Amino acid sequence: KTVFFRKDYKAPEYSIEKIDLNFQLYDTKTKVTAISCVRRNNKENRSPLILNGENLQLISVKIDGNVLSSSEYILDNTSLTVLTPPAVFELEIVTEIYPQENKALEGLYQSGPIFCTQCEAEGFRKITYYPDRPDILAVFTTRIEADVEKCPVMLSNGNLIETGSVEEGGRHFVVWKDPFPKPCYLFALVAGRLSCVNDEFITSSGRAVDLKIYVEEKNLNKCDHAMVSLKKAMEWDEKTYGLEYDLDTYMIVAVDDFNMGAMENKGLNIFNSKYVLTSPETATDEDYIGVEGVIAHEYFHNWTGNRVTCRDWFQLSLKEGLTVFRDQNFSAEMNSPTVQRIKDVQILRNFQFREDSGPMAHPVRPETYEEINNFYTVTVYNKGAEVVRMVQTLLGREGFRKGMDLYFHRHDGQAVTCDDFIAAMADATGTDLEQFKNWYCQAGTPVLEVSSHWEADSSSFHLTVTQNCPDTPGQKGKNKKPFHIPLALGLMTENGKDLFGKNGCKTEILHLKEQKQTFTFTNIAEKPVVSFLRDFSAPVDVKTFQQDEELAFLMKYDSNLYNRWESATRLSASTILDVVRQLEKGTPIQFNELFFDGVLHSITEKIEDPALLALALELPPETALALQLDSVDPDLLFQGRTIIKRELATRFQNEFLFLYINNQEAGKYRISPEAMGRRRLKNCALSYLMSLNPPQDKFLQLCIDQFSKSANMTDTITALRLISHHPGTTRDALFTDFYRKWEHDSLVMDKWFAIQAMSSHENCLSTVKHLLSDRLFSMENPNKVRALIGAFSSGNHVQFHAINGEGYSFLADMILQLDSINPQIAARLVSPLTNWKRYEKRRQILMKKELERIAKKPGLSPDVSEIVNKSR
């Protein structure tokens, strides 16, 4: 195995100023001719030129027109080394590749009949021999030649400069030129039978940009929302950061087979069709929000990623953390800031905290990796975004904007590091961010403990905070340096007033820099209630330091809406975990009445934002609750959570029914934040009503009616999901119905698979196994794998962790099977097994056994091998 270290970075020996690519696409093979202008960077040192290449059939190598003999280069499975090249030369390499056999979906492959590429991180080396690293920026010109019938549309980066037919019958060609030098991971090619939706955007300086979304013809009517989102994103980036689009055309292509969500290739984004196609009948509200967010994310990369790119892959968060931060802020402005913030935090807490506490924990800027594809993680992306958010909190919005301006001023057209980003922020504002940089190099979630006391005599209030970071792989907690943590704090009186009030700002930012620090506030005439870490101002784990009474108070009255939700969640989690402990001990169940009071208060209070109420009522998922237990018994956890859900449903049946009826859609279907919030609230209420035990026929009927009458996918799929937990002929009939209605729509069918995989019923795994042989399922389609196998193993805690161990061995079987098809996707699936140490003894043994079994497979991919070996 090869291990890469950040400290080993060396600047490239050669640079490539321009590359002309020529693709000749045929049914069974593609011929690639690459002509590069190469220049040695170092005058004295006559080092060999090392080019990366995998799964390539080399046809010829020429330097300045002369064919190299086999003694002038060395060829192995991963590289081509030209031994003694001149200082400046033209390099011509001809290779043959086989896109139709490429099931790993990296490099050039086919999604159905459509040719497309995925080059990030290291896919370009599957197209031709090339120095496949992000710090080599070249001007790309791309000629594509293919059959006119099969590939009427042929696209690449930049501007179309030539088209024509070729002598060989029935074929044609195009030439695209991208004037912006770029790393090869941003290269893209698409060819196939595609239709296109056109629009236009006029930039703030008055340039017209053609906007094009390419899809299969049958999907032309599902592109509106994506197009509107793109235009909103373009406008937002001009308004917020003064960043304009720089080419004459912006193209998006949707394909069905895609490893990631989407890819920001210069001028030619390639998208998983899940993040392009919407219609009320086929897409849920979550899908609409997802499309808006991902379209914006990829668009924002044009500046944060493409114009300024990463020096090496250890710096991945330079572009991803920053771009996630940007798309989160965009979505917050387009929808509801508080709802968006809660969703951001949920991803962080439910997924990133788990990663950060497990065997794959790594810093936002990793120090080492075996397979870079394994580091496209919630840590690099979402914790990375939190780190950028903290910079903004420390500098203020204006200061942050100055920092961004300086960053682009200094680094436009360059490949840089996270240090360069922080330096721009520091220099633009005269802020010392040295200690802050610990966020980039220390893994693990800092744990904060808080204590406070109020002195009546001196009217002063003292808040003491300590920070500790747990051990993570390769980093001992005791050796970690304290983080610079911005703490957004509010102090409130018992009747719900904020004590801080300077310039209308009710929140103060404290700087926690020491391991232990006390903050003193004077003129505090009564004992305040602490509203801590407002808007989740830092990605830390705050140990609950408040009594339930205080949490219940904050849940009702905190002026910071995010913190209302935070308190509600803390209270519901502690209430559930209380029950779990009682179940463990076998003592009679007693409930925390404060929680039920709080919930009743939320339900009956005047509703300002229905989405916020829904979020407060939704109980934390088992995977998030599991993080708070030392030794998880998934059965007890499921039971405890179910008991609380049913208790709420029983006590507040009338209220939930009222919410259900009162939040029905009046009039036309809309996707406004308000309408989406109502649907969420209504469906949350229905979910409670459906959780009653024994089930009540009238609510079941409500659910069935919703299923059959609804004209939007949010309501349809919610009803189907709720019924999925109640096996029987009704359920089977609805699933059959749905199948008949939607079998032609692959994205909708993903939902059909996923829902069945997430049923809490104990026959779930046998259903899942059965579905593997459904004619619509395919191991070669990542969306299908995620929908069925991913949903079961990551989204069905109780059934995946069934004590007979069958969930674990099923997952291991699937990983082994997938490893020889698509290693990247196989590696992603391992995740639920990696945290075996968190589970009770019997499960630990079962999970570990499966990791060992996977590890033993001869020829296991580096992707899966890295994760399995680090976890066992």
Residue 144 contacts by C-beta under 8 Å, 6 or more apart in sequence? 23, 25, 151, 154, 155, 156, 173, 174, 176, 189, 191
Least gap, CB of 316 to ligand DPP (angstroms) = 8
Q: Which does 190 bind (CB under 5 to 8 A by kind): Zn ion, ligand DPP, none?
A: none
**Torsion region of 759: left, alpha or beta (phi above 0 gives left; psi -120 to 50 gives alpha):** beta
Residue 260 sits in the site that holds ligand DPP (CB under 6 A): yes
Contact range with Zn ion by CB under 5 A, out of 314-322, 527-535, 831-839, 858-866:
314-322
327 CB neighbour count, 10 Å cutoff: 23
Output 151 or 263, the one with its CB closest to ligand DPP: 263
For the purposes of burial, counting CB atoms within 10 Å of the CB of 728, is it exposed (0-12), middle (13-18) or buried (19 or more)?
exposed
SS3 636: helix
- Among 80, 226, 262, 426, the residue binding ligand DPP under the rule CB under 6 A is 262
SS3 796: coil
User: What phi and psi, each to the nearest 5 degrees, are found at residue 297?
Assistant: -55, -50
User: Which residues, numbered 788-847, are part of the site for Zn ion (CB under 5 A)?
Assistant: none
Least gap, CB of 514 to ligand DPP (angstroms) = 36
Q: Which does 120 bind (CB under 5 to 8 A by kind): Zn ion, ligand DPP, none?
A: ligand DPP
Of 191, 172, 39, 28, whose CA–CA distance to 102 is shortest? Answer: 28
Contact range with ligand DPP by CB under 6 A, out of 59-67, 294-302, 708-716, 835-843:
294-302
User: 159-165 and 171-182 as β-strands: parallel, antiparallel, unpaired?
Assistant: antiparallel
- Residue window 320-339: x/- pattern of binding to ligand DPP, with contact defined by CB under 6 A: x-------------------
**Buried residues in 205-223 as b, exposed as e (16+ CB within 10 A):** eeeebebbbbbbeebeebb
Residue 264 sits in the site that holds ligand DPP (CB under 6 A): yes
Least gap, CB of 304 to Zn ion (angstroms) = 9
Q: Give whole-number Cα distances, 306 to 319, 578, 837, in Å.
A: 9, 50, 40
Q: Which does 714 bind (CB under 5 to 8 A by kind): Zn ion, ligand DPP, none?
A: none
- Residue window 216-255: x/- pattern of binding to Zn ion, with contact defined by CB under 5 A: ----------------------------------------
| C-alpha 135 chain-centroid distance | 25
The catalytic residues are 298
Least gap, CB of 262 to ligand DPP (angstroms) = 5
- Contact between 354 and 627 under an 8 Å Cβ cutoff? The reply is yes
Residue 308 sits in the site that holds ligand DPP (CB under 6 A): no
Contact range with ligand DPP by CB under 6 A, out of 132-140, 261-269, 364-372, 766-774:
261-269
User: Which residues, numbered 319-338, are part of the site for Zn ion (CB under 5 A)?
Assistant: 320, 323
Least gap, CB of 263 to Zn ion (angstroms) = 8
Output 185 or 656, the one with its CB closest to Zn ion: 185
- Among 105, 127, 263, 864, the residue binding ligand DPP under the rule CB under 6 A is 263
What's the DSSP call for residue 477?
G
What's the DSSP call for residue 351?
I
Least gap, CB of 122 to ligand DPP (angstroms) = 12
Output 120 or 866, the one with its CB closest to ligand DPP: 120
Q: What angle do CA 13, 16, 18 make, to 5 degrees?
A: 175
Residue 216 sits in the site that holds ligand DPP (CB under 6 A): no
Contact range with ligand DPP by CB under 6 A, out of 11-19, 190-198, 258-266, 751-759:
258-266
Contact range with Zn ion by CB under 5 A, out of 317-325, 472-480, 659-667, 714-722:
317-325
Least gap, CB of 146 to Zn ion (angstroms) = 29
Tokens standing for residue 823: 């290693």
Residue 347 sits in the site that holds ligand DPP (CB under 6 A): no
- Contact between 283 and 277 under an 8 Å Cβ cutoff? The reply is yes
Contact range with ligand DPP by CB under 6 A, out of 255-263, 566-574, 580-588, 654-662:
255-263
Tokens standing for residue 734: 């609805």
Output 263 or 614, the one with its CB closest to ligand DPP: 263
Alpha-carbon gap, residue 392 to 242, rounded angstroms: 17
SS3 833: helix
Residue 298 sits in the site that holds ligand DPP (CB under 6 A): yes
Least gap, CB of 134 to ligand DPP (angstroms) = 11
Alpha-carbon gap, residue 413 to 58, rounded angstroms: 32
Q: Which does 263 bind (CB under 5 to 8 A by kind): Zn ion, ligand DPP, none?
A: ligand DPP
Output 273 or 687, the one with its CB closest to ligand DPP: 273
Q: Which does 262 bind (CB under 5 to 8 A by kind): ligand DPP, Zn ion, none?
A: ligand DPP
Output 301 or 326, the one with its CB closest to ligand DPP: 301
Task: Name residue 865's amino acid.
Answer: S
Output 297 or 641, the one with its CB closest to ligand DPP: 297
Tokens standing for residue 403: 């920092």
Alpha-carbon gap, residue 139 to 577, rounded angstroms: 58
Contact range with ligand DPP by CB under 6 A, out of 257-265, 283-291, 456-464, 590-598:
257-265
Output 120 or 566, the one with its CB closest to ligand DPP: 120
Output 267 or 673, the one with its CB closest to Zn ion: 267
Alpha-carbon gap, residue 363 to 359, rounded angstroms: 12
412 CB neighbour count, 10 Å cutoff: 10
User: What phi and psi, each to the nearest 5 degrees, are found at residue 253?
Assistant: -120, 135
Least gap, CB of 565 to ligand DPP (angstroms) = 27
Of 352, 318, 362, 280, whose CA–CA distance to 679 is shortest? Answer: 280
User: What phi and psi, each to the nearest 5 degrees, are found at residue 165?
Assistant: -105, 160
Alpha-carbon gap, residue 86 to 230, rounded angstroms: 46
Least gap, CB of 125 to ligand DPP (angstroms) = 17
End-to-end CA distance of the chain: 17
Q: Which does 751 bind (CB under 5 to 8 A by kind): ligand DPP, Zn ion, none?
A: none
Least gap, CB of 7 to ligand DPP (angstroms) = 24
Output 327 or 745, the one with its CB closest to ligand DPP: 327
Total interface residues for ligand DPP by CB under 6 A? 9
Contact range with ligand DPP by CB under 6 A, out of 39-47, 71-79, 88-96, 293-301:
293-301
Output 273 or 575, the one with its CB closest to ligand DPP: 273
User: Which residues, numbered 94-153, are part of the site for ligand DPP (CB under 6 A)?
Assistant: 120
Tokens standing for residue 501: 């009030």
Q: What angle do CA 713, 718, 719 make, to 5 degrees?
A: 105
Tokens standing for residue 509: 């930012």
Give one DSSP letter per residue of 104-159, joined into a string.
S--EEEEETTEEEEE-TTTTGGGTS-B---TT--EEEEEEEEEETTT-SEEEESSE
SS3 2: coil
- Contact between 359 and 870 under an 8 Å Cβ cutoff? The reply is yes
Long-range interactions of 770-775: CB distance < 8 A, separation 24+: none
Least gap, CB of 818 to ligand DPP (angstroms) = 21
149 CB neighbour count, 10 Å cutoff: 9
User: Which residues, numbered 763-822, are part of the site for ligand DPP (CB under 6 A)?
Assistant: none
Contact range with ligand DPP by CB under 6 A, out of 296-304, 422-430, 720-728, 862-870:
296-304
Nearest residue to ligand DPP, scored by beta-carbon proximity: 263
Q: What angle do CA 172, 268, 207 make, to 5 degrees?
A: 105
Alpha-carbon gap, residue 640 to 659, rounded angstroms: 25
Q: Which does 222 bind (CB under 5 to 8 A by kind): Zn ion, ligand DPP, none?
A: none
Least gap, CB of 265 to ligand DPP (angstroms) = 9
For the beta sheet containing 114-118, the strands, ordered from the edge strand earlier in sequence to the opposite edge, are 107-111, 114-118, 189-192, 153-156
- Residues binding ligand DPP (CB under 6 A): 120, 260, 262-264, 297-298, 301, 320
- Residues binding Zn ion (CB under 5 A): 320, 323
